[in-house]
């Protein structure tokens, strides 16, 4: 019985201390930002970002990540107002709506997931650099003030960081594969004419 009191009595104090630490140490907002240089001109990269139907080719919102995933598209095919909705067993439900499109330098969007109260605000910024295009992908969201919301926000930040990293690598792979296909077509066309 004494052991039970020694274990149970400090438990609420430890939980209160953990909640207090979460409240003071964890941020009320999340921000994820990653950059990559892609070996393609800004116009080629932008075409893969500005059309939501292209996202499943390079982002984590694809059938390889979740074989049950279904995509629905609405609004214009590309640019401001274009949108993509998804539903899947692993990735849940969500929607991306493009809010501003300035070709070929920037794209902003609003993303909602699984009925979350707060939207994620995202942006892509493209800039020509030596050897290609620098793409900066940024996502921001308010996670709330309560300790529990802040803990969930820290988990969400980890998920978003992974999503951004995999997405940029997927974009790089897609562009590399596209350039290889173009090179093969060019060689084949050249061989056919000579």
Q: Given this model, what pLDDT does residue 79 score?
A: 96
Q: Given this model, what pLDDT does residue 142 score?
A: 83
Domain count, the chain: 1
Q: Given this model, what pLDDT does residue 182 score?
A: 66
The whole domain housing 133 covers: 27-188
Classify residue 2: in a domain, yes or no: no
Phi-psi region of 83 (alpha: psi -120 to 50; beta: other; left: phi over 0): beta
For the domain that residue 174 is a member of, what is the CATH number? 3.30.530.20
Classify residue 93: in a domain, yes or no: yes
Classify residue 77: in a domain, yes or no: yes
Classify residue 1: in a domain, yes or no: no
Q: Given this model, what pLDDT does residue 41 score?
A: 96
**φ, ψ at 61 (rounded to 5°):** -85, 65
pLDDT digits (tens, 9 = 90+) for 154-193: 888 888 899 999 999 999 999 999 887 766 555 555 555 5
Classify residue 4: in a domain, yes or no: no
Q: Three-class SS of residue 127?
A: strand
Question: Is omega for the bond preceding 104 within 30 degrees of 0, making it cis?
Answer: yes
Q: Given this model, what pLDDT does residue 3 score?
A: 60
* Torsion sign, CA atoms 50, 54, 60, 62: positive
Record the pTM.
Answer: 0.79
Classify residue 3: in a domain, yes or no: no
Classify residue 16: in a domain, yes or no: no
The closest alpha carbon to 52, from 91, 87, 94, 82, belongs to 82
Per-residue pLDDT of the chain (194 residues; tens, 9 = 90+): 566 556 655 656 555 555 555 455 677 788 999 999 999 999 999 999 999 999 999 998 888 889 999 999 999 999 999 999 999 998 889 999 999 999 999 999 999 988 676 799 999 999 999 999 999 999 998 888 788 888 888 888 888 899 999 999 999 999 999 887 766 555 555 555 55
Classify residue 128: in a domain, yes or no: yes
Q: Given this model, what pLDDT does residue 186 score?
A: 57
């Amino acid at each position: 019985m004494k052991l039970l009191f020694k274990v149970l009595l400090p438990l609420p104090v430890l939980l209160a201390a953990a909640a207090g630490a979460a409240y003071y140490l964890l941020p009320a907002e999340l921000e994820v930002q990653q950059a990559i240089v892609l070996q393609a001109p800004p116009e080629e990269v932008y075409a893969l970002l500005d059309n939501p139907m292209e996202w499943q080719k390079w982002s984590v919102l694809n059938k390889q990540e979740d074989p049950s995933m279904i995509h629905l598209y609405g609004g214009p095919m590309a640019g401001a107002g274009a949108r993509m909705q998804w539903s899947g067993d692993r990735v849940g439900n969500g929607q991306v709506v493009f809010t501003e499109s300035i070709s070929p330098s920037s794209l902003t969007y609003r993303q909602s997931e699984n009925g979350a109260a707060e939207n994620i605000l995202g942006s892509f910024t493209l800039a020509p650099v030596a050897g290609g295009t620098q793409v900066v992908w940024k996502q921001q969201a308010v996670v709330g003030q309560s300790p529990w919301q802040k803990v969930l926000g820290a988990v969400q930040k980890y998920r978003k960081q992974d999503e951004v990293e995999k997405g940029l690598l997927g974009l790089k792979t897609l562009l590399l594969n596209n350039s290889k296909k173009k090179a093969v077509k060019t060689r084949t066309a050249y061989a056919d004419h000579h």
